[in-house]
A and B are shown apart, each in its own frame.
Chain A
Amino acid sequence: MGSKINNERERGEGLAFWLTGFLLLVIMPLLNVLPGPDSWLHVSDFALNRFGKFLAFGILALGLDLIWGYTGILSLGHGVFFGLGAYAVGMHLMLTIGTESVYGSMLPDFMVWNQVKALPFFWKPFYSFWFAVAAAILLPTLFAAIFGFLTFRSRIKGVYFAIITQALALSAWLVFNRNDTNLGGTNGLTDFKQVLGFRLSDPGTQRTLYVLTVLSLGAAYLLCRWITRSRTGKVLVAIRDSEQRVLFSGYSPGNYKLFVFVVSGALAGLAGALYVPQVGIITPAQIGVLPSLEMVIWVAVGGRGTLIGAVVGAVGVNWARSILTSSFPDLWPFFLGGLFIAVVLLVPDGLVGLWRRALDGWRGLGRQTAMPEPEGKG
């Protein structure tokens, strides 16, 4: 039983979900296909593809919001889980290039360049598309499970957890950067040509990837909504508010944290898997400390502790980024830093919180005109 405001909010969220879904899933692709390129209604292939990337980030933000916004555990290492998903799919795409590569070898170009003679053993299963897709989800899931088990069992929390996850992001960045790791080093994996026989340069392929991203985002949203509205979701908020009380009420907070960390890692992996074929490149620079921090900023800007906020933040910040980096490439880091400080200081509950306050204020105004005088005291 939630409060009345919550029930109203939940209905509003349901409506917003279906409307947004319709807009993203039907209207956007139609505007890409139907109007001529000169029409003002036309959504270009480039714009649609870029939006698909933002929505993939939205999936990651949902997971990050579960662990940070709801449970109060700040992870600064989500780039790693994203990277595991992205590299898993990237490896498959590398192998499907075949002899279309620059060197015309069956081996990925960077291996030829690094004088690797035979495909390393751990690359071989990635010939299979389905193995790669499964690995993109299961690798980050498994990794989050092991890492989470070790940290939460030792009751590492708060700022210590944040530091450890940041160290994780740094070490992952170092490992992926090494040529010896055989994952493309600094240049990462790129130059993909096709997936399941469809050319990645074909707008139709990209449109399909976009639709898949929207569907995945919708499913991820429903999953997170189910979790947060369940009693387990309430326990997560309870852990944020008073972990000690949760512990002495007979729950094991460590198990709950592990659960939410694993779900969050899996969603980050899914986001990475959808990101790679749409963007066409994955490098260590996209999975290290800085990108992991940026992900946290998306959630903060959108409004942590609200699922919609996480998605809005991921899409909004990245949209602003793509506009600003094309006009003022040097200013972006300052803008991002300034945005974070402004949000923390001025609107701690983010854009969604701002919107809700505006809505409440507007409703309050309406009520005041309807009932001019509340019962006076004395």
Chain B
Amino acid sequence: MSERGSIIYLEGVTVDFDGFKALRNLNFIVDYRELRVVIGPNGAGKTTLLDVISGKVKPVAGRVVFGKDTDLIGLQEHEIATLGIGRKFQTPSVYSNLSVWENLDLSLKRTSKGVFATLVSKPDRAEIEKIASTLETIGLTEKADDRAGALSHGEKQWLEIGMVLLQDPALLLIDEPVAGMTDRETEQTGLLLQSLADRRSIIVIEHDMEFVRQIARTVTVLHEGTVLCEGPVEKVQADPRVVEIYLGRQKEADAAAAR
């Protein structure tokens, strides 16, 4: 894979939490307009991977390159967000005391998000239309004036997806989007993510294998901070090493349950 064609390129990335290596010499590449699913057992480093890309965690070694040649290491989270990397967190994080509309309005991509520019900025028509159409996409038009804190869990997840979408990111990082969702919500979320991948790259972390099969084209399996294998979902599922780490855990869990 050439570096030129990739939207995100990690080379030799190591993250060290006081001696614990959450990522070890990790190499990871995602192409433009790719929907990539990252799976792996707990503690494999999935969330840390997103933390490194979005600037929350600084690696001790390695390179992180966004697009053609933007080095992300050393940039702050909000700077990385402004460059065009959006992130949706595992637990829904929305602004409970603002209305759904205000939540979306603040997330909208703007030329300046500095204090004074924001102080005097006024809503313009193009922005209002964008927000309205996003409300449509996430199915919350009726609840635009409601306090976000009053939404259901699934609605909050969707609101946060809408907020990240309004940032118009070239790369979208999504951490367990369907955790706690009903089957119907899960399926709708899958369709939404697939439709988004037409225009941007998406990295999804997921546990729900059924959901992975629904959306995935390429799957990366992480294990103990490195890439174990990578490929189409059927191939990955048939890989004996993957079976080993997942089933191994399963056996242990079964044994524990039987005791």
Contact = CB atoms under 8 A, between A and B. Distances in A.
Contacts of B113: 249-252
The 7 closest A-B CB pairs, nearest first, are A250-B81, A241-B95, A232-B119, A3-B145, A238-B95, A250-B82, A245-B93
B147 to A, nearest CB: 7
A255 B95 contact: no
Contacts of B98: 234, 237-238, 241
A326 interface: no
A186 B206 CA distance: 64
Interface string A223-242: 00001001110110110111
A249 B115 contact: no
A252 B116 CA distance: 12
B126 interface: no
Interface string A323-359: 0000000000000000000000000000000000000
Interface in B164-183: 167
Given A241-B95, A251-B118, 15 more contacts: A1-B123, A230-B119, A232-B119, A234-B102, A234-B106, A238-B106, A242-B93, A242-B96, A245-B95, A247-B77, A249-B107, A250-B167, A252-B78, A252-B114, A256-B115
Contacts of A227: 119
B3 to A, nearest CB: 26
Given A241-B95, A255-B115, A248 B78 contact: yes
Interface residues of A, number: 28
Nearest to A252: B78
B99 interface: yes
Contacts of A2: 99, 102, 145
Given A1-B99, A241-B96, A241-B97, A252 B76 contact: yes
Contacts of B163: 245, 249
Contacts of B106: 231, 234-235, 238, 246, 249, 251
B36 interface: no
A244 to B, nearest CB: 6
A248 B81 contact: yes
22 contacts: A1-B105, A2-B99, A3-B147, A4-B145, A230-B119, A230-B120, A232-B119, A234-B98, A234-B102, A234-B105, A241-B97, A242-B96, A245-B89, A248-B77, A249-B81, A250-B109, A250-B110, A251-B106, A251-B118, A252-B76, A252-B113, A255-B115
A231 B105 contact: yes
Nearest to A260: B115
Interface string B94-136: 1111110110011101100111001111010000000000000
B46 interface: no
A256 B101 CA distance: 21
A17 interface: no
Nearest to A241: B95
A232 B145 CA distance: 19
B146 A3 contact: yes
B97 A249 contact: no
Contacts of B89: 244-245, 248
A362 B81 CA distance: 46
A247 B105 CA distance: 15
Contacts of B96: 241-242
A50 B163 CA distance: 50
A9 to B, nearest CB: 13
Contacts of A4: 145
A238 B118 CA distance: 13
Contacts of B160: 245
A149 interface: no
A259 interface: yes
